[in-house]
């Protein structure tokens, strides 16, 4: 794409073998080798400190993307001066019939519908697994769990919009065991508690906005279930129970003072 000029590709990893393979594969690649796994925020801050481009695209290593996903994000910022950050649309890589796959599909269907609503209302303050942001709007990221939400909130604070590009598609693998599901969800929920503490605002995700917009959320849930079919009603019940357990874990974890890298949800790493 003539509009897109990739000046550098930066990877932060503690995996020395992977770093050597990456260096052999791509001449424009800069590998920041970490001595040990220090967490996503630490890796992102190293990348931000090294990056020189005017637009930064962040994505995790366990994400697959459509061939035009990055150009669509970059064009969104290039064509709209008042946009500071643009987000991709996440799809599930596995859409099978197993219970955990259905739970993941339901979770992301609800999450995407919520984000679409917020985007239409110009109230979006959240991002996902791949985003693009103007370099001048990002200095460093606080040591928070939900780094993408932190960046989005900072962009809005500086007077720029956070928008979604629905046709910029990425695929992820959801947790394939209840344990990994609760591990991942409790981490995200704890991250929302951190944002409440540091920003004094309630997150706009579905679960945190039930009390502020109950009717709209009920309609959104009904519409989502109508699309997925009646077989997802028992899936919703199981998902609700897992969410309650995840919330309890997140509340307990919130009282921990030291911040360590979270345990990996290994079943999410096979995209």
Burial class of 181 by CB neighbour count within 10 A (0 to 12, 13 to 18, 19+)? buried
The rounded mean pLDDT for the chain is: 87
132, pLDDT greater than 90:
yes
pLDDT greater at residue 163 or residue 27: 163
pLDDT greater at residue 38 or residue 120: 120
Retrieve residue 232's tokens.
């997802």
5, pLDDT greater than 80:
no
Count CB atoms within 10 A of the CB of residue 24.
9
**Residue 145 domain-assigned?**
yes
**CATH classification of the domain holding 45:** 3.90.550
Mean pLDDT, residues 15-34:
79
pLDDT score of 271:
46
**Residue 185 domain-assigned?**
yes
**Residue 40 domain-assigned?**
yes
Of 157, 87, 95, residue with least CA distance to 119: 87
- Residue 27's Cβ-side half-sphere holds a number of Cα atoms within 13 Å equal to 0
Share of the chain above pLDDT 90, in %: 51
pLDDT greater at residue 100 or residue 254: 100
Find the domain containing 37 and state its range: 9-268
**Residue 2 domain-assigned?**
no
Count CB atoms within 10 A of the CB of residue 9.
13
**Residue 167 domain-assigned?**
yes
What are the φ/ψ torsions at residue 163 (nearest 5 degrees)?
A: -130, 160
**Domain total of the chain:** 1
**Residue 4 domain-assigned?**
no
This prediction has a pTM of 0.85
**Residue 47 domain-assigned?**
yes
**Residue 75 domain-assigned?**
yes
């Amino acid at each position: 794409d003539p509009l897109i000029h990739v000046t550098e590709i930066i990877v932060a990893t503690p995996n020395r073998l992977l770093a050597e393979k990456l260096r052999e594969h791509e001449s424009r690649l800069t590998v920041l080798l970490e001595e040990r796994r220090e967490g996503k925020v630490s890796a992102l801050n190293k990348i931000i400190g090294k990056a020189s481009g005017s637009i930064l695209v962040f994505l995790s290593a366990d994400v697959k993307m459509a061939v035009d996903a990055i150009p669509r994000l970059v064009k969104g910022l290039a064509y709209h001066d008042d946009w500071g950050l643009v987000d991709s649309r996440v799809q599930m890589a596995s859409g099978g019939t197993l219970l955990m796959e259905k739970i993941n599909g339901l979770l992301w269907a609800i999450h995407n519908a919520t984000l679409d609503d917020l985007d239409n209302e110009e109230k979006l303050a959240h991002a996902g697994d791949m985003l693009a942001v103007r370099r001048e709007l990002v200095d460093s990221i606080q040591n928070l769990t939900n780094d993408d939400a932190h960046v989005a909130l900072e962009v809005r604070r500086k007077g720029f919009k956070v928008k979604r590009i629905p046709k910029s598609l990425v695929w992820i693998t959801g947790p394939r065991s209840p344990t990994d599901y609760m591990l991942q969800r409790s981490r995200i929920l704890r991250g929302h508690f951190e944002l409440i503490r540091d920003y004094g605002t309630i997150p706009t995700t579905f679960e945190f906005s039930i009390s502020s917009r109950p009717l709209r959320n009920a309609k959104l849930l009904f519409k989502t279930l109508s699309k997925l079919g009646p077989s997802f009603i028992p899936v919703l019940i199981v998902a609700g129970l897992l969410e309650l357990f995840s919330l309890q874990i997140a509340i307990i974890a919130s009282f921990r003072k030291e911040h360590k890298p979270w345990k990996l949800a290994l079943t999410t790493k096979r995209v």
